[in-house]
Structure 1
Amino acid sequence: MAMEPSLADLRERIVAANAAKTPLRLRGGGTKDFHGEALVGDVLDTRVHRGVVDYEPSELVITARCGTPLAEIETALAQHGQFLPFEPPIFHADATIGGVIAAGLSGPRRASAGAARDFVLGAHLLDAHGELLRFGGQVMKNVAGFDVARLLCGSLGVLGLIAQVSLKALPRPREEVTLRFECNDAEALAMFHRWRAQPLPISATCWHDGIASVRLSGSSSALRAACAALGGTMINEAEALAWWSSLRQQSHEFFRRSDKPLWRLSLPATAPIDASGGDLVEWSGALRWLRSETPAGGIRTRTEKLCGTATLWRGERNGVPMFHPLAAFNLELNRRLKRQFDPNGIFNRGRMSAEF
């Protein structure tokens, strides 16, 4: 099968860069330039390779080229009452689906619906030799052996150019309501724990500044029963949409502040608040955002004791790596994967780690 002209042009640049061992910086809309370490190399703009390749609403699967704007995909899905359940952050209208998958970030619905990688059915990867590798497919049960398509999710483009991706979509919930409760952080965590053990249609939770918010999604009867069981104060639809959007897009004032470094802590949901800190708590307690001037070593040591990781999301690095250091075994796995797909290290050099 002949390669599309836009992809052939990208391939030509990749092959030339690999021959010269010149680093390339894979870039779509640039909305996640902050997410990672160094930005090194000549920019390879993926937006030239764009467009929805296939969309079957009855199959709940959409396939798009890497440079396709996320907004375009979400519009196509919305016309059929569908959406991407992991609610990827957009940050800016220029976000592309290739960048969404390379970053692997998920929004408020992640704890109930799953992570970005859980909705990747298949992908095409253009490697350093210019070979177009195909992984997975367009149905749920298609993976045998090592699931490379999902491995690409969160890879930050260090393995190659994610040329195309197939994603599972879901129907939008019939109705949604948001309840709020006045409580402190420990009380909120206790409530989240109780709710997880109950058959409740919870699609998102958050605690911040003395208020716990819970979003319920489903049928009218299910929401009525859940509201009766939980209590709390229901907020109007417009306010609820604005609130959850401000978390998903990180447009809330909490994320815009720059007074202290912002840490993203990934922890077991049962980890105690007083041991981890957390100025804003999502995902039933599994994701905690912390503003702190405590040295990075102290934060990461404390987080490791709770079996979690700490990412320096925003703030001056001063030589501190953004991502939590990998254990020796995991680091070696990453090295081997990098050597296999990109032996000369041309793709997004130093973006994930100084190691590669």
Structure 2
Amino acid sequence: MDDFTKTLQATLNQAIKENRTLRICGGDSKNFLTPNASSEAQLISTQAYQGVVSYEPTELVITVKSGTKLTELVGILDDKNQHLSFDPPLFSEESTVGGMIACGISGTSRPWKGLIRDSLLGCKVLNGKAEVMHFGGQVFKNVAGFDLFRPQAGAWGTLGIVLELSLRVNPKPKQTRYFSYQCSQQEAFKLMQKYQQHPHPISGLCWYKGVLQCRLAGFQSAIEYSISQLHELQETPESEIFWQQLARYQLSVMRESSNQGYYKLYTQCSRPLIPEAPVTLIDWGGAIRWYDSRQLPIQQSHLSQYCSHYEKWLSPPSPTGIIYSPMSTAIWQLHQNIRHAFDPHKLFNQHLFQSR
């Protein structure tokens, strides 16, 4: 066992004895998304725990330590002409791989390439009893033991400290090209549904400020065929900047919110837009819609008619972070049970769990 893990174990055992809470942190690039931690919570940083444990390009799998910077991982994969297909958002140059898994936020290609947890093959975790636990493995079809590594994606560190993780990687697309079309939100919404009824090599489909943005990625022949079918679109190479800003959450709707905040709705692509409500941003081909809360004609309690769940993004810096749609009693109890199994002493990121 390495010195970093031993030090963490000693810290956890001491925290258990003193009944203290811990705040797990990587690059701290997502602090604007979360409530402020108590001043009594001890900071546990994984930034010093960096490096590649193993990488087999021919096997399409890489294992890295959680403190490794996401930019470093992307660079390593790029040298082998490979990438993470779920297109993880990069909040800052300090963002870490562990933070990427902890927040569980998939990028712009998620509807076509899958979730973060779909690419997570296994991990090594330090639980709330200061025990090192191994879940999953380093192969895609792994049936050994319980599938307990995927809940780490999106747990925000409430299920333990992720030490190492194994990820499935993919060859980079042969070609990536950018297209756009100026239109209204209703026309964009209809075109998004139309485009996704056919097997076009779409890796991003978004509408923002009156412009429908489309990113095609794949073989040149497939892209050329799609261009011949998608007559409205015009090739705009400069749109790559927009996709970079979207991936880094640098658009104004994400960082410079109104005083009342924005609602981010997750739903089915074909589900109707809220009537008489201007949409600020449509992403994931229609599965994500951002609404200015000041312009919504319905109450928050009625949002469930138009989405499976929602988030309310408040003006940064906000002491409460994101406000999530309420869970049902059964789902909340399930979360409690899982959390208790991993962290019976309630050590980890207590401020995040209470916010739900």
Q: How many residues align?
A: 351
Letter matched to residue 150 of structure 1: R
92 and 318 in structure 1: CA distance in 2 versus 1, 3 angstrom threshold: closer
* 8 A contact 1:54–1:63 mirrored in 2: yes
Q: Which residue is equivalent to 1:15? A: 13
* 8 A contact 2:176–2:216 mirrored in 1: yes
87 and 320 in structure 1: CA distance in 2 versus 1, 3 angstrom threshold: closer
Q: Which residue is equivalent to 1:4? A: 2
Q: Which residue is equivalent to 1:34? A: 32
Q: Which residue is equivalent to 1:189? A: 189
Q: Which residue is equivalent to 1:93? A: 93
SS of structure 2 residue aligned to 1:22: coil
Q: Which residue is equivalent to 1:322? A: 323
TM-score, length-scaled by structure 1: 0.93
* 8 A contact 2:89–2:248 mirrored in 1: yes
Cα distance in 1 for residues equivalent to 2:125 and 2:297? 35
SS of structure 2 residue aligned to 1:78: helix
Greater shift after overlay, 189-198 or 248-257? 248-257
Q: How does 1:1-356 map to 2 (within 5 A)?
A: 3-40=1-38, 41-143=41-143, 146-237=146-237, 239-260=238-259, 261-275=261-275, 278-293=279-294, 298-299=299-300, 301-315=301-315, 322-354=323-355
Cα distance in 2 for residues equivalent to 1:325 and 1:271? 21
Q: CA deviation at 1:28?
A: 0.8
Cα distance in 2 for residues equivalent to 1:294 and 1:148? 41
Q: CA deviation at 1:117?
A: 1.0
Cα distance in 2 for residues equivalent to 1:195 and 1:311? 27
Cα distance in 1 for residues equivalent to 2:144 and 2:72? 31
SS of structure 2 residue aligned to 1:166: strand
Deviation by residue 1:98-146 (Cα, 9 ceiling, x = unmatched): 1100000111111110111111000111011111111111111113564
SS of structure 2 residue aligned to 1:336: helix
Cα distance in 2 for residues equivalent to 1:228 and 1:294? 38
* 8 A contact 1:185–1:273 mirrored in 2: no
Structure 1 portions without partners, runs of 5+: none
Q: CA deviation at 1:164?
A: 0.8
264 and 43 in structure 1: CA distance in 2 versus 1, 3 angstrom threshold: same
Letter matched to residue 7 of structure 1: T
Deviation by residue 1:252-272 (Cα, 9 ceiling, x = unmatched): 234332334122211121121
277 and 352 in structure 1: CA distance in 2 versus 1, 3 angstrom threshold: farther
Cα distance in 1 for residues equivalent to 2:304 and 2:169? 34
Tell me the C-alpha RMSD between the 2 structures: 2.1
Greater shift after overlay, 308-317 or 184-193? 308-317
SS of structure 2 residue aligned to 1:350: helix
Letter matched to residue 182 of structure 1: Q
SS of structure 1 residue aligned to 2:32: coil
* 8 A contact 1:177–1:234 mirrored in 2: no
Q: CA deviation at 1:326?
A: 0.9
Cα distance in 1 for residues equivalent to 2:89 and 2:202? 20
Letter matched to residue 285 of structure 1: G
Deviation by residue 1:141-198 (Cα, 9 ceiling, x = unmatched): 1135642111100000011101111011111111111221222112111111122111
Cα distance in 1 for residues equivalent to 2:322 and 2:248? 24
